[in-house]
Amino acid sequence: VAIGREAEATFRLLVESVKDYAIFILDASGRVSTWNAGAERIKGYRAEQIIGRHFSVFYPPDVAATGKCELELEVASREGRFEEEGWRVRQNGSRFWANVTITVLRNPEGELIGFAKVTQDLSLRRAAEQAERTLAAERAALAERERIQHFQERFLAILGHDLRNPLASLDMGVGVIKQRTTDPTTLRLLERMGSSSQRMSRMIEQILDLTRIRLAGGLQLNPQPMDLREALEPIVHELRGAYPLQEIEFKYEQASGSWDRDRLQQVFSNLISNAILHGVKNTPVHVDVRLEQSVVHIQVHNEGPPIPVELQSELFNPFRRGARDSRTAKTAGLGLGLYISRELVSAHHGSLDLQSDATSGTTCRVTLPRTTVISR
Ligand SMILES: Nc1ncnc2c1ncn2[C@@H]1O[C@H](COP(=O)(O)OP(=O)(O)OP(=O)(O)O)[C@@H](O)[C@H]1O
Ligand SMILES: [Mg+2]
């Protein structure tokens, strides 16, 4: 197509003055031979600084080293054009995200005379896209958190009311019928129903605690000035009643402090029951309290085969139970006792450990600071 000289000059002016695109020509070997205002703006070089240099200077050095530039020219000459989006480098070394088109230029005889290269700086667009993606991800995360929170609240409500309440009324019903019955078979049955519902409500309480620890931000303590005896004696008494043949030796040294009594009872109830249920039948269980300056040590000891060392720390994980079966399936728990106990002792800023070996049996040792300041 023949165009007039004037039109050609106008066209050249147009290309030279375009600011949004770098438009320039590479000779057949890839050296820059023209430059426009957009190229200067985007890439940073002035015409006299760049004309004659190979266009690989526009690529990150590690990319240029792979022979990518030569490959692009090869593709352009074979297929007529090459296009991609990728990282390019400005004169000052900073990178920008670019859309690049390389078009082959041939004379009327079909000989390759060079390449036209158009580069657009997409950094702004890319940054906007990235910001949009981040925003979308944040929104999704928020929605997910809300969904989980809703689920947690529902779950806690089910455990706390929907399951607990009917169980309480069953338990009450059993108690009322028991008082009106003299038939020994019925009484035995009611006895069993009563202890089943008690076991079940204990399990519900444990699952509630687990949910509070894992999902609802932890267990709340309500520490009050008290004597440790208030936490231990009722439990020892209760367990002596529940296991009349079991000897429980209780050695006590007066220890006052600031603790959550109900929660400590829960800890000792589990530790002493563990010693009774998982220890050797008809051997005494020892409960010792020892004061040491600002801390109290409480030890619960039972005899029995040692717990393998590798299992000892495992037992503190939720639902983790020992290899051996407990005495009877009836007394089998969920395996949450030690986990919750340790959480409760930690909430008091204390520690709970277990030691077990062949000569001395198994000992659970609780160390409590005498004052618990709850920081929330
Ligand atoms: N004093 C102990 N002597 C021997 N084994 C023990 C003792 N205490 C705990 N274990 C082992 O650790 C396991 C976990 O104890 P944990 O109190 O967490 O659960 P559990 O007693 O089985 O059930 P629950 O949730 O009702 O307490 C027990 O199943 C038992 O195998
Ligand atoms: Mg237990």
Nearest to 116 by CA among 60, 218, 35, 226: 35
Q: How far is the CA of 322 from the centre of ligand 1 (A)?
A: 7
Q: Whose CA is nearest to atom 30 of ligand 1?
A: 322
Q: Can you give the pLDDT at residue 329? A: 55
What pLDDT score was predicted for residue 155?
Answer: 84
Greater confidence (167 vs 371) lies with: 167
| Residue 17 pLDDT class (50, 70, 90 cuts) | confident
3-class secondary structure, 315? helix
pLDDT at 66 over 70: yes
Whole-number pLDDT of residue 174: 95
* Residues, CB within 5 angstroms of ligand 2 (ion): 270, 274, 333, 337
The values of phi and psi at residue 315, to 5°, are -60, -15
Instruction: Give which of 89, 108, 111 is closest to 98, Cα–Cα.
Output: 89
How many other β-carbons are positioned within 10 Å of the β-carbon of residue 97? 18
For 43, 55, 209, 215, 349, the CA distances from 344, given in Å and listed in that order, are 63, 68, 10, 16, 9
pLDDT surpasses 60 at 33: yes
Q: How far is the CA of 316 from the centre of ligand 1 (A)?
A: 9
Mean pLDDT (the chain) is 91
d(CA 298, CA 287): 7
Cβ pair 100, 119 in contact under 8 A: yes
pLDDT in tens, 208-236: 999 888 877 788 899 999 999 999 999 99
Q: How far is the CA of 275 from the centre of ligand 2 (A)?
A: 9
- Judged by DSSP in three states, 349 sits in coil
Indicate the top mutation candidate among 273, 315, 360 to test ligand 1's pocket, ranked by most ligand atoms within 8 A of CB.
Answer: 315
Q: Given this model, what pLDDT does residue 376 score?
A: 53
195, 202, 278, 286: residue to mutate for ligand 1 pocket, most atoms within 8 A of CB: 278
| Mean pLDDT of the 62-77 span | 95
Band (pLDDT 50/70/90 cuts) for residue 11 is: confident
Nearest C-alpha neighbor of 299 from the set 219, 228, 234: 228
Dump pLDDT digits (tens) for 296-330.
999 999 999 999 988 998 999 998 887 555 445 55
**pLDDT at 327 (0 to 100):** 47
- Name the pLDDT band for 371 (thresholds 50, 70, 90): confident
- Nearest alpha-carbon partner for 28 in 107, 118, 87, 100: 107
Write the residue with the smallest CA distance to atom 13 of ligand 1: 321
Nearest atom, ligand 1, residue 363 CA = 1
DSSP string of 320-335, one letter each residue: ---SS--S-GGG---S
Please name the residue whose Cα sits nearest to atom 11 of ligand 1: 322
Query: How far apart are alpha carbons 340 and 220 in whole angstroms?
Result: 13
Q: Name the percent of the chain lying above pLDDT 90.
A: 70
- Give 278 Cα–ligand 2 centroid separation in angstroms: 8
Q: What is the pLDDT of residue 331?
A: 60
For residues 101 and 91, the answer to whether their CB atoms sit within 8 Å is no
Mean pLDDT within 151-173: 88
221 CA to centre of ligand 2 in angstroms: 21
The pLDDT value given to residue 375:
59
Which residue minimizes the CA distance to atom 19 of ligand 1? 335
pTM of whole model > 0.85? no
Query: Contact, 319 vs 275, CB < 8 A?
Result: no
Ligand 1 atom nearest residue 273's Cα: 21
- Percent above pLDDT 70 for the chain: 96
Q: What is the pLDDT of residue 225?
A: 94
Name residues contacting ligand 1 (CB within 6 A). 206, 270, 274-275, 278-279, 302, 304, 307, 315, 321-322, 333-339, 362
Segment 123-143 shows an average pLDDT of 93
Beta carbons of 256 and 232 less than 8 angstroms apart: no
Element (H, E) at 345: helix 337-347
Choice among 81-90, 266-275, 317-326, 355-364 with the minimum mean pLDDT: 317-326
